[in-house]
Amino acid sequence: MKEPGCPLCDGPGGVAVFEGPKFRVVRASEAGFPAFYRLVWQDHVSEFSDLAPAERRLCMEAVVQVEEALRDHLRPFKVNLAAFGNVVPHLHWHIVARFEWDSHFPAPVWAKAQREAPPDRVAAIERLLPALERDLANKFADLPGNCTGV
C-alpha cells in the first residue's frame, strides 16, 4: 500500500540500517544529532492506531530494540521517542539519543537550539554507530513477526 507523492513511500527517508517486510530503520541526517534514527512502517498508514494490535506490538518492540541499542552503545542521558506525521502523514517513529551537551538539551529536538553541539562529542558518537547498527540489524533479523508477517 503506497501513496503517490508520499516521500516515505517514494524514498527511504534516511540511510538504511535495516529493511524488513513490515518496517525499516534509517539513520536521519540531522545536524548535531548523530544518533537520530527513524523507524518507518512500510505500509502507508497515518496514525499508530491504524495498525492492527499485533502490528502495534511488533512496531513498539522494534522501537524498543532501537532504544536499547542506543542505550547499550551510546549511554545517552535520555532517549526521546516521537510519532508526529503532521507534514508526512506516513507512520514513522523518531528515536533520538539525547546528551546534555547536544544543541537543544533539555528541550525537544524540534524546539529552538540553545547552543552548538561540540564537534568532538558528535564525532565520538559517530564512531560508535557502525557497531550499533550492525547489532541492531542482527537483532531485527530475530524479531518475531518481522520476517514471517504478523
Interacting residues toward its own copies by CB under 8 A = 46-49, 53, 56-57, 60-61, 63-64, 67-68, 71, 77-87, 89, 98, 105-108, 110-112
Q: Which three cell numbers stand for residue 13?
A: 527517508
* Alpha carbon distance, N-terminus to C-terminus of the chain: 16
Are the C-beta atoms of 24 and 18 separated by less than 8 Å? yes
User: In angstroms, what is the minimal distance from the CB of 93 to its own copies?
Assistant: 9
User: In angstroms, what is the minimal distance from the CB of 50 to its own copies?
Assistant: 10
User: In angstroms, what is the minimal distance from the CB of 75 to its own copies?
Assistant: 12
- 78-83, long-range: CB within 8 Å, 24+ apart, which pairs? 80/108, 80/109, 82/108, 83/48
User: In angstroms, what is the minimal distance from the CB of 66 to its own copies?
Assistant: 9
16 versus 110: smaller Cβ distance to its own copies: 110
2 versus 77: smaller Cβ distance to its own copies: 77
95 versus 122: smaller Cβ distance to its own copies: 95
Query: Which residues make Cβ contacts (< 8 Å) with residue 72, sequence separation at least 6?
Result: 132, 135
130 versus 144: smaller Cβ distance to its own copies: 144
Q: Is the dihedral of CA 40, 41, 44, 46 positive or negative?
A: negative
